[in-house]
Chain A
Amino acid sequence: MTAVSGARLLEVDDLRVEFGRGPDTAHVLNGVGYHVDEGETLAVLGESGSGKSVTAQTIMGILDAPPGRITGGSVRFRGEELLGADPERRRLLRGESMAMIFQDALSALNPVYTVGFQIAEQFRFRRGMSRRDAMVRAAEMLDLVRIPNAQQRVKEYPHQFSGGMRQRAMIAMALALDPELLIADEPTTALDVTVQAQIMELLDEQRRERGMGLILITHDLGVVAEVADRIAVMYAGRIVEHTDATTLYAHPGHPYTRGLMESVPRVDSGAGGVAGAPLRPIPGLPPSLAAIPNGCPFHPRCASAVDVCTDEVPPLREIGPASATQHATEHQAACHFAERFAAEGSDRPSTQEVVSR
């Protein structure tokens, strides 16, 4: 699980994005920062509307503007500032250096072209290959993502593929030009559980073989536990906690992270014997992004909120290794009482197993 820390691939710093104008302006991103190194997997975790996808689209440069507006921050790819860079330069980076796959592969594939044609497009337009050569390469790509009978399937249309196959085809499309960074926006959400595992395995394997950085956007804790080197938890357009997977599961430092874990049903009755434990959903709804609460944005839903939480925005700060047994890794959380929560550990003893399994 420990990444061979390569060079810094992507750095996002204090990214701010707004949607709309006037009093209804939605503050979608409020200073998001994370980084991805070569060959590592960063998982971005959060509820719908927490800004995970908007961050990804801003990195890719495909944010719809208007209505979106980038009001601050920076995105650096291998040290090169992307925000404000020449649009043509950014376009050439897309596909070649960074690529993205989407949640619903059926709608992300054009219904009027064959799957092979859409993969071959990359080779034809970016590598100047002939139609015939590009189709051969497209079949190779389908084979690479383990689509059986690739020679035949390459001539079929997206609607003739099953859900898992479509996502594989989408991955083949994204990997065609061998990008250094792959952003997977909820790649398994639309799939059933057995297929989910296969797709995650495929992504993880491709990451290892190519040494590319992977940003995995998800709201599924189970998916994250197995493949992520580091996890960034997002809430209301901010990173509220950031650490490696082991630490996060054992010592969540933010009440929101803890809430996320407690709202996942468990069916395994291992040593911890937590199967059948009651679910504790997080009360309330995520805040409207046009009216984010003062102070800590999570305080209206937080059981431990006190006065300081409504007055002061807790910055994302280093809280240090939670216990002596942990190897010293960075662990940041945006809560006034993060150290206390982290020291308490998770009240679900078996979470450690999720990681070590």
Chain B
Amino acid sequence: MTETAPGLRTAGAAASTGTGPDAEPTGGLWADGWDQLRHRPLFWIASTLIGVLLVMALFPTLFTSVDPQAADLALSGADPSPDAIFGRDLQGHDIYARAIHGAAPTLTVGLLASLGTVVLGSVAGLAAGYVGGWGDSVISRFAEVFAGLPFILGGIVILTTFNKPGQIVGEVRIVTQVVLTIVVLSWPLAMRIMRAAALEAVQQDYVKAARALGAGPWRIVARHILPNTLAPVLVFATIQFGVFIGAEATLSFLGIGLRDPVVSWGVMISEAQERVADIPQALFFPAAFLVVAVLAFVMLGDAVRDAFDPRGR
């Protein structure tokens, strides 16, 4: 999307020259959106939280030097202390260290699932919206089949087909499986949003004008429809990022998602469930991290949607 970037840069120029005869925003969709975003405290709070989470995921050693896998059964269920500030879980792991190291797999699943959903959904939605007619019908009906599957049921069916619950699997393999499961069950949502936006864009005069000047179908889709349909899908992706983090935790909690040796917040919650009464800190801290992360992404998505969706203003 290098072509859309200049739109952001002209924000200042457009505002200063004031070319519009009236007070309507003159910076174009992207520039106006950015302008709106900058003035929202919600956006900055969410961004800061996400920034901290990203640093946590990329450089966990900045926050803790304790090995998350180091377990000392003698210290099982120890209360918070200067040694382990969040206390220790049933196996004697340092909960703080595990929560910090849990950020990376959690965010990876969220990011890859959002990315996959958006890419698959956008391609399908663009095709449906641009081709129209029976092509649209085929893609839409196909998407409805997947949209009709309840998420938890679908997740259980797919993941237990590949792995027995509790079976030990490699890190890369289980992350890939969880991501693909989420993508397969969620892409129809992105597809519907993209299809609606594409249907609207296809009707625009600039698409007709491009055709009248001899642009081929690929150029029309890539250069004229896609840049004008991206905003709603990106907003959706930001909100879904938070939702998918929650989905990963749900699948892990059910014992069919990520699992030991991978440390994620969902895995920690799942492990903590049996002894909640004895060791509440093992449940509380990963759950708190999870809630904050989900909240941050949903807040960011809300702020972005408010800024980019003219109907919400």
Contact = CB atoms under 8 A, between A and B. Distances in A.
Interface string B3-31: 11011001000100101110000101110
Contact of A111 (B28, B212, B213): B28
Contacts of A100: 209, 212-213
A95 B213 contact: yes
Contacts of A170: 209
Nearest to B209: A108
A196 interface: no
A77 B90 CA distance: 83
A125 B29 contact: no
B6 A114 contact: yes
A161 B26 CA distance: 11
B142 interface: no
Nearest to A117: B3
Contacts of B83: none
A174 B211 CA distance: 11
Contacts of B132: 66
A55 B31 CA distance: 39
A110 B214 contact: no
B71 to A, nearest CB: 54
Contact of A112 (B3, B211, B213): B3
Nearest to B20: A159
A352 B216 CA distance: 47
Contacts of A62: 208, 211-212
A66 B133 contact: yes
Given A108-B208, A111-B228, A157 B213 contact: no
B10 A111 contact: no
A262 interface: no
Contacts of B29: 111-112
Interface residues on B, range: 20 to 34
Among B7, B212, B213, max chain A CB count under 10 A is at B213
A93 interface: yes
A91 B223 CA distance: 17
Given A104-B205, A157-B10, A94 B4 contact: no
A91 B19 CA distance: 36
A162 B30 CA distance: 20
A161 B20 CA distance: 8
Interface in B194-222: 204-206, 208-216, 219
Contacts of A96: 214
A111 B28 CA distance: 7
Nearest to B10: A157
B208 A160 contact: no
B80 interface: no
Given A94-B211, A114-B6, A108 B206 contact: yes
Nearest to B30: A112
B32 to A, nearest CB: 10
A94 B214 contact: yes
A174 B205 contact: no
